[in-house]
Amino acid sequence: MFQNCKKLLRFENFIYGNGPSGNSSCPSTPAKWCVNDYDGSSFCIDNPALLPTCILALLIGLYCSKRIHSLPGKFPTRYYYQLTFFLYGIMMTSAGILHCFLDDKQKLSTILRSTNGNSMDFIQLVVTVIDVGLTSNIAVSFMFCGLCDIKLLNPQSAVTSCLLFLSYLIVFLLWTLGLINQWNWIFNVLYLGIVAVCCFIFLLTQLCLKKNRRALPALFVGGLYGAIGLLATTYGAEHICTSEGPFWSQYFGPEFIWFLFSDISVAFVFIYVTRANQEKKTVIQKYPIDIETLPEKF
């Protein structure tokens, strides 16, 4: 089932934009840093510039999840937001592994002591499913957060949690089947479609909440960064590669911009969530004048 690794890699390249056409200005192969071992083998890191963005994403995910957990006061959707930001850190970690390490098949095969040639294909499939599956499921999580915010779903209900995790399972299953069977529609439906629809629903739910309007600028900035990052890796990729040149675009090309702007976008969404769910403090003002002795002063 996993023997045709080339098809899987081509599909990954299609998803992440790593396979430019012959007349593209973007490099056909990513930058690679290699270290030779004493036994003559080498360990290589592809796309080394992506590693800091993935590490940053993991830190953002863990920090945001912890901060949301410790927010004071009533926050009915606390668990769902906490889970969403945590999954973002895991998703970007899997993306870093997929883009930076899994192309070093010789080293991984030695570590895994693969004898049938299928272990590498299986690992690539698993990490790819985790990466793209979590991307879709994070959007689903934001949709559930929004629906719970407007009380369309009950965040305290076990039914809501079951629906969320059932959605996760279905998305992972569809991605797995799509990658194995090379379904041509899977990227447009499960990636672009789910992300666009779920994020749009989340935006609508937040616009319905009057108490959150003071925090909306942070949400709009986060959405703007996300949109620019997506445009950079799709329609703007050719312009970026031409502007940077063949050397710098290996390191700071469209994919790097996408990863970095995704981190910035999530950070602004976190700012929005914390501001929107902060309790207003009751201010008790002290007056230097005694009301009982000088009531006419008031």
Which residues, other chains included, contact 221 with Cβ-Cβ below 8 Å and sequence gap of 6+?
268
For residues 70 and 7, the model is more confident at 70
Whole-number percent of the chain with pLDDT over 70: 77
Q: How far apart are CA 139 and CA 154, in angstroms?
A: 19
Q: What is the dihedral of CA 203, 205, 206, 212, to 10 degrees?
A: 170
Which residues, other chains included, contact 136 with Cβ-Cβ below 8 Å and sequence gap of 6+?
171, 175, 190, 191, 194, 195
Lowest mean pLDDT among 44-53, 156-165, 195-204: 44-53
For residues 156 and 182, the model is more confident at 156
Reported as a single tens digit per residue, the pLDDT across 97-146 is 888 887 554 444 444 444 454 566 677 788 889 999 999 999 999 999 99
Reported as a single tens digit per residue, the pLDDT across 213-266 is 888 999 999 999 988 988 888 888 888 888 888 888 888 888 899 999 999 999
Q: How far apart are CA 144 and CA 142, in angstroms?
A: 5
Which residues, other chains included, contact 167 with Cβ-Cβ below 8 Å and sequence gap of 6+?
137, 140, 144
DSSP letter at 35? Answer: E
What pTM does this model have?
0.80
Of 178, 163, 199, residue with least CA distance to 133: 178
Which amino acid makes up residue 244? E
Write down how long the chain is.
298
Mean of all residue pLDDT scores within the chain: 81
Residue 119, pLDDT score: 64
The answer to whether the CB of 277 falls within 8 A of the CB of 71 is yes
> Where exactly are the structural domains of the chain?
50-106+113-208, 211-276
Q: How far apart are CA 106 and CA 39, in angstroms?
A: 13
Strand pairing partners for 35? 43
